[in-house]
Amino acid sequence: MSSATIKSIARELGFSFCGIARAAFLEEEAPRLEQWLKEGNHGTMKWMENHFDKRLDPRVLVPGAKSVVSVLYNYFPDRAPSDPDTPKISRYAFGEDYHDVIRDKLKEFLFRIREELGDVEGRVFVDSAPVMDKAWAVRSGLGWQGKHTNLINKGHGSYFFIAELIINLDLDPDGPAMDHCGSCTACIDACPTDAIVAPYILDASKCISYLTIELREAIPDEFKGKMEGWAFGCDICQEVCPWNRFSMPHSEPRFSTGRAPDLSAAEWREMTREVFDEVFTNSAVKRTGFEGLMRNLAFLRQE
């Protein structure tokens, strides 16, 4: 009954899906992660080399953990940029920063669980700690990792944020999801920087999202002419994925408040720090900072 109660609360809070896995060592993922890091596919994101044990075992991260509760939250936008000639930003950054939105919901989630089930200990995570969120979402039956390495839900696509509650309740786990990519290579074929170096393997150092967000240095000249107008993040591999024909607009008001989709090409060209601060104060775009966004826009103008 505890598992059903938790899933019911998740639905009431607006989460699209909720699944449960037993907290355990990620035995299959361990050698793959080690090899991925050894090959340098994480680029300058050296923090990914840290806390290897916590990344692979939630019981090390959260002492006493028995279950990982994974949730998905839809962010597919209900609108498109008003000016098709503007620089592109990933759909997840159209509205308020997802960290803030989902963290608020997770805190309410844990509060409600404690109200219903008593003294539950645990922590909430939304892209904020060494948690392999996609692996746990797969284990809890919410989808599979596609060849582009994003999580895909068979009936609803991949435009979801993933978050977790790692708690000390011994819950009934869900079974893992099956892979439904088949022989499709649409994402691999469409990637302009060849970042998907093999099915299910992403060289993040070549990914446009990495180049425009994580990379703090100058974008290498080898990527000139390959950015396809992306100034913050990239959605190409999701746009071409056949499963995203099932994507439906989100119903989160805080994802619809951003001004970014309404900017004209002229406003992008003439952007000042003041405009940046006004438009992106509550947006994930603030992560790259004004200087970082200006670097990206300058690089695009060279193409």
Tens-place pLDDT, residues 204-215: 999 999 999 999
Domain boundaries, the chain: 2-78+96-167, 186-301
Q: Is the pLDDT at 303 greater than 80, yes or no?
A: no
Tens-place pLDDT, residues 184-238: 999 999 999 999 999 999 999 999 999 999 999 999 999 999 999 999 999 999 9
Instruction: State the pLDDT confidence band at 1, using cuts at 50, 70 and 90.
Output: low
Distance from C-alpha of 71 to C-alpha of 188, rounded to nearest angstrom: 27
Q: Is the pLDDT at 267 greater than 70, yes or no?
A: yes
* Secondary-structure percent of the chain, ordered helix, strand, coil, rounded to 5: 40, 15, 45
Tens-place pLDDT, residues 106-157: 999 999 999 999 999 999 999 878 999 999 999 999 999 999 999 999 999 9
Q: What is the mean pLDDT of residues 74-78?
A: 95
Q: Is the pTM of this model over 0.85?
A: yes
Tens-place pLDDT, residues 42-69: 999 999 999 999 999 999 999 999 999 9
- pLDDT the model gives residue 241: 98
Distance from C-alpha of 281 to C-alpha of 258, rounded to nearest angstrom: 9
Q: How many CB atoms lie within 10 A of CB 121?
A: 15
> To which H or E segment does residue 123 belong?
strand 122-125
Beta-bridge partner residues of 73: 161
DSSP string, 183-238: T--HHHHH-TT--EEETTEE-GGG-HHIIIII--SPPPGGGTT-STTEEE---HHH
Q: Which of the residues are catalytic?
A: 127
Which two structure tokens, joined as six digits, stand for 130?
């060494």
- pLDDT the model gives residue 258: 86
Tens-place pLDDT, residues 4-24: 999 999 999 999 999 999 999
- pLDDT the model gives residue 126: 95
